[in-house]
Chains A and B, each alone.
Chain A
């Protein structure tokens, strides 16, 4: 089952088995947002504590918790996300989200071996770290929404924090 090993990398299964930052935060003060994948019924709840003594993009996510239930891809992606964004500023998280989403989108050039990689992709990969393991998901297009569910929910939470 070679294809499956691309999807279910060991680190993904590890985050699925022992999800990081699982649980709840008191809301308020924490921001609480829910995300749904209408296709498969997955639900993710993201709790964010934001230190907004700094303004806008400089505000820092001091704590994050993940609730809800879903498949290994949505759960592990959210778990890795929580580890990656905790302690980061909104601006950094925005960049990270962008890098992750661009890894998850099926660009034409990704299917075309002759195209040069996008100029910022090396930097993005560095920052993504463990999240790189999710790259294989792109080969299973129906699962992309699973991988991005946590991130879209996080985005919504950040938008709410800023508004």
Chain B
């Protein structure tokens, strides 16, 4: 079965050749408005290497069949390919048991699963949920929905001026809290949060810890046990994988005790007229036909990243972030303000900024004419926007296929935007 794509693109470990990496991503050779594409929006969704696209094609061309429900060869191969991907995901995040990996549609569904299954089973009126001011709406709204139904209290860890978590009142914030749900890396300002320290305090206070790893899992090594997480959510499409596939990892004891989320085929052991018996985790949480090709694509994406080495991926990101901080502030001085931590070590490669008082929407429109993709808007983090005192920011974000030339191109395009809007 030719599904393992790890040999398709062999990179020498430790040697980070961005031009070579760029050539693995077919889309990066296209132009926009006759300019080479400078893709700086990976925090929203990453591009996909050829090996991921090929893995999904190979699945459809050679073994396409529904999983788990037949004895014929194709179905068995499809099931094996899907379960192999589950093992890759588990190993990628340091989980010891592949059955702790639940496939979802995306991180949003993963977090909703936690709220609807664990939350409904464990939260009583008056209980508190602790979030942070950095959160994406995906890690706010499901809790607000549940809080409204169950009369729960939501509390917020505040931020310092450079958008780091202010933990000075953590102990009192944790009093009465049953779950802490927080991002490990901000999608707006890049902040890496001290998950371990918070998890230790939360566990001591009797709370469980759910980590929104959407931004950190694609960009740095992850070990759920070192993080001290009880739940970890992330999306495949930000991790070089396809859309339509997300992951929820949870400690086995939690998964076993949690009620199913969606009901249907694939999640049962038995169904009678008077009721059903749920399957074991993870299948208990995977009702219906899963996105098989996307799961296999996610496995191929993980192969690609493992081949580069996640330590090296992180080093590249720190180096590029340091370059961006320096290049943009040297070049534009007071004209640019970059939100969030000012040291590359403390942050990921999602960088929100304000430039020349040009509205982010106008800015990104002009940048697009130069082939440069940055995202304007609230980045699904309106509470954070309010805290920053803005309605929107422009955000540039980078990944393994970006280099200093891309950042310089961003600087050139900003220069041009400044001229266009100079009043």
Q: Which residues of A contact B (CB under 8 A)?
A: 1, 3-4, 7-8, 13, 17, 39-43, 69-73, 140, 143, 146
**15 pairs, A vs B, C-beta closer than 8 Å:** A3-B369, A4-B365, A4-B369, A4-B420, A8-B420, A13-B421, A40-B360, A40-B378, A41-B377, A41-B382, A42-B361, A70-B361, A71-B359, A71-B361, A140-B365
The docked-state distance in angstroms from the alpha carbon of A140 to that of B366 is: 12
From residue A79, how far is it (CB to closest CB) to chain B in Å?
Answer: 14
State the CA gap A40–B392 with chains docked (Å): 6
Given contacts A4-B369, A71-B359, 16 further A-B contacts (CB under 8 A): A1-B416, A1-B420, A3-B33, A4-B420, A8-B420, A13-B423, A17-B423, A41-B378, A41-B382, A41-B391, A41-B392, A43-B391, A71-B360, A72-B362, A143-B361, A146-B361
Q: Which of B361, B377, B385 has the most CB of A within 10 A?
A: B361
Q: What residue of chain A has the Cβ atom nearest to residue B366's Cβ?
A: A4
Is B365 in contact with A143, judged by CB distance below 8 angstroms? yes
Instruction: Kindly report which residue of chain B lies nearest to residue A39, judged by CB atoms.
Output: B377
Say if the beta carbon of B119 comes within 8 Å of chain A. Answer: no
Give Cα A48–Cα B420 distance, bound, in whole angstroms. Answer: 34
Q: How large is the interface on B (under 10, 10 to 19, 20 to 34, 35 or more residues)?
A: 20 to 34
Residue of B nearest to A42 (CB): B391
Chain B contacts of A146 at CB under 8 A?
361
Interface presence of B349 (CB below 8 A): no
Dominant secondary structure at the A interface? mixed
* A73 contact set on B, CB distance < 8 A: 361-362
Contacting A at CB under 8 A, from B373-423, are 376-378, 382, 385, 390-392, 416, 420-421, 423
**Distance, CA A9 to CA B117, complexed state (A):** 53
Please state if A1 and B359 are interface contacts (CB–CB under 8 Å). no
Q: Is the CB of B377 within 8 A of A40?
A: yes
Give A41 to B391 CA distance when docked, in angstroms. 5
Q: How far is B33's CA from A73's CA once the two chains are assembled, in angstroms?
A: 21
In the bound assembly, the distance between CA atoms of A1 and B385 in angstroms comes to: 31
Nearest CB in chain A: distance from B377 CB, A: 5
A72 to B356, CA, bound (A): 14
* B392 close to A42 (CB less than 8 A): yes
Q: Distance in Å from the Cβ of B373 to the closest Cβ of chain A?
A: 13
Give A146 to B378 CA distance when docked, in angstroms.
Answer: 15
Question: Cβ of A7: which chain B residues have Cβ within 8 Å of it?
Answer: 365
Query: Which B residues touch A3, using CB under 8 A?
Result: 33, 369
- Nearest first, the 4 closest Cβ-Cβ pairs linking A and B are A71-B361, A41-B392, A41-B391, A71-B359
CB–CB B377/A71 < 8 A:
no
